[in-house]
């Protein structure tokens, strides 16, 4: 069974229809890029997947034992207050909140997982530093570590590289590919078409309804893919 199946999902946002007839399925281990212009419904689709908003029609079915609160979420960094007093380890540990039940404090298991993820993403040396004093790239890694603490199966990323410089962006995609190769399914909403085509295994090109659903390799050679890549390259 597929990990996530969208069955003719329709979405509305503030009363307006933003997407309709979205049907596709995500298998374990795939890396999906959801691309499209502003207002194409890609962020709304992601919110519906996370359960933040309901589907107007159709449904999203989770398979392979994936529970709704077991999806790790990496929001756009801009949604987090710049002056929030929190250290890196406090932020990463808060990722475990969904699965550790009603325990009031973090136990050994949570700390070990947080440590493992911080080590993998190279932020262990700055674990005690304040989140607000980090660079954009470091902040994004912290949020990625938090998302990894929330899930063992599936990550959802919302424009993860907005505002990062090219070097840091490339580094971030390398990290994502490593995470993906370790078996993590990733669904990423992105503006960056070129990078999405390069890193993702599959592409969903959305413009209120799907224009393309399939592998990234085929997308590059499809008429719609060639057209869009050319337009965004300018």
Residue 98 interacts with another protein (CB under 8 A)?
yes
Q: Give the residue with the Cβ less far from another protein, 13 or 222.
A: 13
Distance CA 231, CA 215 (A): 20
In the block, tokens 């890396």 appear at 31
Helix (H, G, I), strand (E, B) or coil at 85: coil
Residue 88 CB contacts under 8 Å (≥ 6 apart), including other chains = 118, 123, 126, 127, 128, 129, 130, 131, 134, 142
Report which of 153, 125, 129 is spatially closest to residue 30, judged by C-alpha positions: 153
Residue 134 interacts with another protein (CB under 8 A)?
no
Task: Pinpoint the alpha helices (H) of the chain.
Answer: 42-50, 88-93, 108-120, 136-150, 166-181, 193-199, 216-221, 223-233
List the beta bridge partners of residue 12. 17
Residue 207 interacts with another protein (CB under 8 A)?
no
Environment class of 13 (CB within 10 Å of its CB; exposed 0-12, middle 13-18, buried 19+): middle
Residue 94 interacts with another protein (CB under 8 A)?
yes
Q: Give the residue with the Cβ less far from another protein, 47 or 202.
A: 47
Residue 56 interacts with another protein (CB under 8 A)?
no
For the CB of residue 78, give the shortest distance to another protein in the complex, in Å.
Answer: 12
**Would you state the structure tokens that stand for residue 19, as one six-digit string?**
């997407």
Angle between helix 136-150 and 166-181 (nearest 10): 20
Number of residues located near another protein, criterion CB under 8 A = 34
By CB under 8 A, name the one of 37, 133, 165, 194 that touches another protein: 133
Give the range of 26-34, 98-106, 165-173, 226-234 binding another protein by CB under 8 A: 98-106
Q: Give the residue with the Cβ less far from another protein, 147 or 203.
A: 147
Residues numbered 100 to 129 that lie near another protein (CB under 8 A) are 104-106, 128
Q: Give the residue with the Cβ less far from another protein, 139 or 197.
A: 139
For the CB of residue 149, give the shortest distance to another protein in the complex, in Å.
Answer: 10
For the CB of residue 184, give the shortest distance to another protein in the complex, in Å.
Answer: 16
Residues numbered 148 to 177 that lie near another protein (CB under 8 A) are 150, 156
Gyration radius of the chain over CA positions: 18
Which residues bind to another protein, rule: CB under 8 A?
50-52, 68-69, 71, 73, 75, 79-81, 83-87, 90-91, 93-95, 97-99, 104-106, 128, 130, 132-133, 146, 150, 156
């Amino acid at each position: 069974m597929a990990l996530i199946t969208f069955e003719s999902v329709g979405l509305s946002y503030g009363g307006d229809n933003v997407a309709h007839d979205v049907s596709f399925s995500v298998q374990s281990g795939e890396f999906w890029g959801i691309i499209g212009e502003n207002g194409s419904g890609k962020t709304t689709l992601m919110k519906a997947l996370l359960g933040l908003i309901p589907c107007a029609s159709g449904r999203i079915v989770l398979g392979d034992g994936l529970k709704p609160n077991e999806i790790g979420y990496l929001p756009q960094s801009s949604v987090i207050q710049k002056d929030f007093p929190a250290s890196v380890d406090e932020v990463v540990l808060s990722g475990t909140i969904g699965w550790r039940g009603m325990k009031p404090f973090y136990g050994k298991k949570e700390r070990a997982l947080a440590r493992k993820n911080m080590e993998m993403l190279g932020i262990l040396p700055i674990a005690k530093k304040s989140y607000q004093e980090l660079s954009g790239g470091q902040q994004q890694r912290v949020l990625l570590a938090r998302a990894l603490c929330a899930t063992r199966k599936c990550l959802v990323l919302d424009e993860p590289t907005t505002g990062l410089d090219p070097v840091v962006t490339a580094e971030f995609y390398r990290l994502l590919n490593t995470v993906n190769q370790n078996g993590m399914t990733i669904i990423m909403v992105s503006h960056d078409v070129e990078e999405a085509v390069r890193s993702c295994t599959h592409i969903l090109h959305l413009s209120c309804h799907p224009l393309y659903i399939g592998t990234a390799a085929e997308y590059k050679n499809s008429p719609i893919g060639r057209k869009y890549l050319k337009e965004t390259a300018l």
